[in-house]
Structure 1
Amino acid sequence: MIMTLLVVAVVSGALLAGAAWGLFGRLNETLEGLLVALAGGALLLSLVTELIEPSIERSSVGAATLGVAIGSLLFAGADYLIDEKWGANSGGGLLAAITLDGVPENLALGVALIGATPAEVAALAGSIFLSNLPEAAGGARDMARQNYPKAQVFWLWAGTALLLSAAAIVGNLMLDEASEHVLAVIRCIAAGAVVASLATEVFPKAYRSDMHLAGVATALGVVLAFLLGSVSGA
């Protein structure tokens, strides 16, 4: 349990570090785009190798397919509500957008920690950390540009970090006795939601920020995730 809390604290702490960077530091748009693409590539590979493939091995292709499909549909529906109903630039819309992909990521992290050693989840945790850092920096900066007080923005991100930490802990504790089939579907629901968020939010943002190098940075992210997975499996 101590190791679970440590991993969760490190991953969620990236939100606070990123928010502080975006609010009080200097964040070049090109650099932000490169970091977002790098993190997206790393997260994409890690989701496949740490969530989807193990789910297929321990359960079935059908369970994994069902989970990914449900997750992507849930994200698409929530993303539609944010953009078309709540307003992507409103306070509620911004908060929803912040947590929409974070909750599945951290829930998946908590589930992945069940019965696993820290080394076995290093690639997934590292990729989520890399993803959270630039996303929080860019999101906090954009909120400040819309005249939200910086202190209020930072505490909003702090609350979000607590929420995501709770999601990981709940996933780890509440699902400890669940069958492999149930865990497979849950892991893949999380994976499907995050894949959908990468396709609709992360990679388009990276391309808009630096269209010429976004693809290269994404490929480097995939290589980075592969290296993380190799080290954790050594």
Structure 2
Amino acid sequence: MALRSVAMTMVVVLLAVSAALLIGALWGTFGKLSASLEGFLVAIAGGALIVSLVSELIEPAMKDLSVWTAMISMAVGATVFTGADWLIARFLGEESGGGLLAAITLDGVPENLALGVALIGAGALEVAALAGAIFLSNLPEAAGGAREMVQDGRSKAAVLWLWAATAALLASAAIAGNLLLSGVSSNWLALIRCFASGAVVASLATEVFPKAYNEDRKLAGIATALGLAMAFILGSLSPS
């Protein structure tokens, strides 16, 4: 059963994280992606993440935590993400290779930590909404990021290697987090779930929804609602 759980975790992570980033990077490097389509896809992913965070992370955590403890843990997660984002921009710069990789990785760490934690003791269908939302989030992010890197003069090979490194880092983090945290107590696991949720919410507020509005403001609201609906549909597939 343990080996089966590890194998399932690896498959889900590789599909939701690595595959989306690599496909997105190839799309942005060699294909065409309009800003409006990128904004539409980003808004869908943001809407889906809102639902999946609540249903697959926060609600299960509330079984072991008080409301105040959960709120504090989420606030700490949001604060840590915001502080790390500021430090990267301040000291590494978002244009340098190291700063760019750090910024991309930081954006993905909360989502992948959340996915790894959600998979502990759960089946693939039970985290379908979260995995699907992360896939939808990673795909346009990688495509748009790769497109901008190529336009800024980076070689296509360098761009693909950068995104491949990001995919490997984030997938490894999700799998390692899942394995390392599988033995912790339910209270600590609930705290980590809320912490990761707060960090993802901060990412949505500072990165995802502003980008969606700036690039596709006419349809961003519709796309967000569509993402909410898609997450509900995926969530309904899980066993009761």
Deviation at 1:171, TM superposition (A): 1.4
1:19-75 superposed Cα distances (whole Å, 9 cap, x missing partner):
111111110111111001111111121111111111112333233212211110011
Distance in 1 separating the partners of 2:64 and 2:112: 21
Distance in 2 separating the partners of 1:149 and 1:75: 30
Specify the alignment match of 1:109 in structure 2.
115
Specify the alignment match of 1:157 in structure 2.
163
Specify the alignment match of 1:178 in structure 2.
184
The number of equivalent residue pairs is 234
For 1:118-129, list aligned pairs within 5 A.
118-129=124-135
Q: Is the 8 A contact 1:46 1:127 kept in 2?
A: yes
2:52 aligned counterpart, secondary structure = helix
Specify the alignment match of 1:197 in structure 2.
203
Specify the alignment match of 2:3 in structure 1.
none
Deviation at 1:101, TM superposition (A): 2.3
2:57 aligned counterpart, secondary structure = helix
For 1:210-221, list aligned pairs within 5 A.
210-221=216-227
Q: Provide TM-score, normalisation by structure 2.
A: 0.93
Q: Is the 8 A contact 1:59 1:180 kept in 2?
A: no
1:78-120 superposed Cα distances (whole Å, 9 cap, x missing partner):
2212333322222222212211121121111111111111111
Paired letter, 1:194: V
1:232 aligned counterpart, secondary structure = coil
Q: Equivalent of 2:8, from 3, 7, 21? A: 3
The percent identity for this pair of structures is 64
2:63 aligned counterpart, secondary structure = helix
Root mean square deviation, CA, Å: 1.3
Paired letter, 1:105: E
1:208 aligned counterpart, secondary structure = helix
Distance in 1 separating the partners of 2:45 and 2:39: 10
Specify the alignment match of 1:37 in structure 2.
43
Distance in 2 separating the partners of 1:73 and 1:105: 15
Specify the alignment match of 1:72 in structure 2.
78
Q: Is the 8 A contact 1:40 1:202 kept in 2?
A: yes
Distance in 2 separating the partners of 1:175 and 1:63: 20
For 1:48-59, list aligned pairs within 5 A.
48-59=54-65
Gaps of 5+ in 1: none
Deviation at 1:205, TM superposition (A): 0.6
Distance in 2 separating the partners of 1:33 and 1:171: 30
Deviation at 1:177, TM superposition (A): 1.1
Paired letter, 2:66: S
Deviation at 1:14, TM superposition (A): 0.5
Paired letter, 2:104: I
